[in-house]
């Protein structure tokens, strides 16, 4: 009797596990995304906190801080003069610290207590004005560590600026702790790892520069651990959380094509290393999962779609084909991925053919019109498709992928989306239903056969 009960229990347990796991598969395949609010403001740059609790937005009038589920700003800080414009913003993991950069006035502003401030603010925590600035602290040229202690700034000329102890600074002045050696060109993109240890940067004629142990005091100017060839125009850069991988969207000055570059084992490289792999297509934006093993890129400059690579850390060679391609007839101006790489989002600024009127910059949006926002799984399955009333060309996503904010230059372009399953935690990658069937069904059948054989033997006896 005991053996029969044991076999029956095994059969019941396996059946319950099978049903439970298949339910998990169904939930993963049934991801949903909803628009939770929108706001009439225009957006020059925006940042979602890694925990998804907060959103910081800058435009021509100032800085605005939102709780992620409330379309009314919790607090705001207005520009000091009519000529001053905030160009870039970054936010700490819990939303408590915010850093913004402005135009040719040449300043950065740091705000603590982001979760507790309310209403109109008269001042930030501290400010830095640099005599070395020769350009805007433009979008993609400022970033902050998860704990708010470290800040990296580019976009002000041919150097990278790094700040320590940012949460305890006050007043005006606040010089950098180290500055990079002069590059051969301007810096147009920076990225910092969550712990502040690794920094990747690049721009026009500067190539890619990489700093390991950036958050450790040392000599200044700081020499990068490695530097790529300088004949590429870096427009976007992503560094993995552990500094292992660097992905870059960059244009070769001698070649109008924008190329995706990927360096594996980045934190151990020295000198002028060649990329580990690349893809020669017109790209204008890039993002990577926290471990650097999944990479997503968008075209931005001409119709050419959304591109995704799985197992990026194992790829080697030239012009590596994508795992999948989506949106072949769209202009993808910005992309984002969750830390685990299971959720991908992309924005399309307008539903029209590429628009480059005489005298307009290469990355012009063209006429303001309806935009689009798309959400995909790592398998390339579309689970969200939205049209915005105004063009959108900027995107930021929380670490879990649960909150995504998008914005553009026109009015009513700030939109916030939620994936309920992903809020507060990561979407756990699971095997497909077919894999579960192939693994669990034989076990269930084996248990059933064993139970049946046992019962037949009992009857014979």
Q: Looking at the domain assignment, is residue 459 inside a domain?
A: no
Q: How many domains does the chain have?
A: 1
Alpha carbon 439 to chain centroid, angstroms: 35
CATH classification at residue 295? 2.130.10.10
Q: By CB neighbour count within 10 A (0-12 exposed, 13-18 middle, 19+ buried), where does 133 fall?
A: buried
pTM above 0.85, yes or no: no
List the Cα angle 214/215/216 in 5-degree steps: 95
Note whether 398 and 404 are within 8 A (CB).
Answer: yes
Give pLDDT, residue 399: 97
Beta strands in 283-433, from DSSP E residues, in sequence order? 285-288, 295-298, 306-309, 324-326, 334-337, 343-348, 371-377, 382-388, 394-397, 403-407, 414-418
Give pLDDT, residue 66: 97
pLDDT tens series, the chain, 461 aa? 544 444 444 444 444 343 333 333 333 457 999 999 999 999 999 999 999 999 999 998 999 999 999 999 999 999 877 778 899 999 999 999 999 998 866 689 999 988 899 999 998 999 887 655 567 889 999 999 999 999 999 977 888 999 999 999 999 888 899 999 888 788 999 999 999 999 999 988 788 999 999 999 989 999 999 999 877 889 999 999 999 999 999 876 566 556 899 999 999 999 999 999 999 887 889 999 999 999 999 987 667 789 999 999 999 999 999 999 999 988 899 999 999 999 999 999 875 444 434 334 444 444 456 899 999 999 999 999 999 988 899 999 999 999 999 999 888 889 999 999 776 554 444 333 333 334 444 443 444 444 444 434 444 44
Q: Which residues contact 442 (CB under 8 A, 6 or more apart)?
A: none
Q: Looking at the domain assignment, is residue 88 inside a domain?
A: yes
DSSP string of 356-378? --TT--TT---S---EEEEEEET
Q: Looking at the domain assignment, is residue 245 inside a domain?
A: yes
Q: Looking at the domain assignment, is residue 180 inside a domain?
A: yes
Q: Looking at the domain assignment, is residue 2 inside a domain?
A: no
Q: Looking at the domain assignment, is residue 246 inside a domain?
A: yes
Q: Looking at the domain assignment, is residue 273 inside a domain?
A: yes
**End-to-end C-alpha distance for the chain, whole angstroms:** 14
Give pLDDT, residue 440: 40
Give pLDDT, residue 356: 39
Q: Which two tokens stand for residue 349?
A: 């600024």
Q: Looking at the domain assignment, is residue 48 inside a domain?
A: no
Q: Which residues contact 191 (CB under 8 A, 6 or more apart)?
A: 143, 199, 200, 201, 237, 238, 239
Residue 229 CA to residue 194 CA, distance in Å, equals: 26
Give pLDDT, residue 251: 72
List the Cα angle 45/97/249 in 5-degree steps: 40
Note whether 108 and 128 are within 8 A (CB).
Answer: yes
Domain that holds residue 262: 56-332+368-391
Note whether 259 and 280 are within 8 A (CB).
Answer: yes
């Amino acid at each position: 009797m005991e053996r029969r009960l044991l076999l029956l229990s095994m059969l019941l347990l396996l059946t319950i596990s099978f049903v439970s796991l298949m339910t998990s598969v169904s939930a993963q395949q049934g991801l949903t995304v909803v628009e939770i609010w929108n706001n009439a403001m225009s957006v020059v740059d925006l940042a979602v906190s890694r925990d998804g609790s907060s959103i910081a937005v800058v435009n021509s009038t100032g800085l605005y801080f939102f709780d992620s589920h409330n379309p009314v700003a919790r607090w705001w800080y207005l520009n000091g003069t009519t000529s001053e414009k905030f160009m870039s913003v970054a936010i700490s993991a819990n939303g408590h610290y915010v850093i913004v950069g402005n135009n040719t006035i040449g300043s950065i502003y740091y705000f603590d207590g982001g979760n507790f401030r309310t209403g109109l603010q008269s001042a930030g925590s501290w400010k830095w004005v640099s005599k070395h600035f020769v350009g805007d602290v433009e979008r993609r040229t400022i970033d902050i560590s998860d704990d708010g202690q470290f800040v990296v700034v580019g976009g002000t000329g041919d150097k990278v600026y790094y700040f320590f102890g940012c949460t305890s600074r006050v007043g005006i002045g606040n010089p950098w702790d180290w500055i990079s050696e002069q590059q051969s060109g301007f810096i147009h993109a920076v990225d910092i790892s969550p712990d502040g240890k690794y920094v990747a940067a690049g721009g026009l004629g500067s190539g890619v520069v990489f700093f390991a142990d950036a958050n450790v005091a040392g000599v200044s100017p700081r020499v990068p651990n490695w530097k790529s060839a300088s004949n590429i125009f870096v427009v976007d850069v992503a560094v993995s959380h552990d500094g292992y991988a660097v992905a870059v969207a960059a244009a070769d000055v001698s070649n109008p094509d924008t190329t995706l570059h990927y360096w594996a084992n980045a934190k151990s490289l020295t000198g002028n290393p060649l990329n580990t792999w690349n893809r020669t297509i017109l790209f204008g934006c890039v993002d990577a999962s926290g471990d650097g093993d999944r990479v997503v890129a968008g075209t931005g400059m001409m119709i050419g779609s959304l591109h995704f690579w799985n197992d990026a850390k194992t790829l080697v060679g030239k012009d590596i084909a994508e795992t999948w391609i989506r949106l072949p007839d769209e202009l993808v101006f910005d992309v984002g991925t969750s830390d685990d790489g299971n959720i991908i989002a992309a924005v399309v600024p307008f539903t029209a053919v590429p628009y480059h009127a005489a005298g307009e910059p290469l990355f012009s949006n063209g006429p303001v019109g309806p935009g689009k926002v798309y959400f995909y799984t790592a398998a390339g399955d579309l689970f969200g498709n939205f049209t915005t009333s105004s063009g959108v060309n900027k995107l930021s996503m929380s670490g879990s992928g649960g909150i995504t904010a998008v914005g553009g230059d026109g009015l009513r372009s700030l939109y916030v989306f939620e994936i309920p399953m992903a809020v507060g935690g990561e979407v756990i990658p699971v095997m497909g239903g077919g894999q579960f069937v192939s693994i669990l069904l034989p076990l269930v059948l084996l248990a059933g056969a064993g139970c049946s054989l046992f019962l037949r033997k009992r009857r014979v006896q």
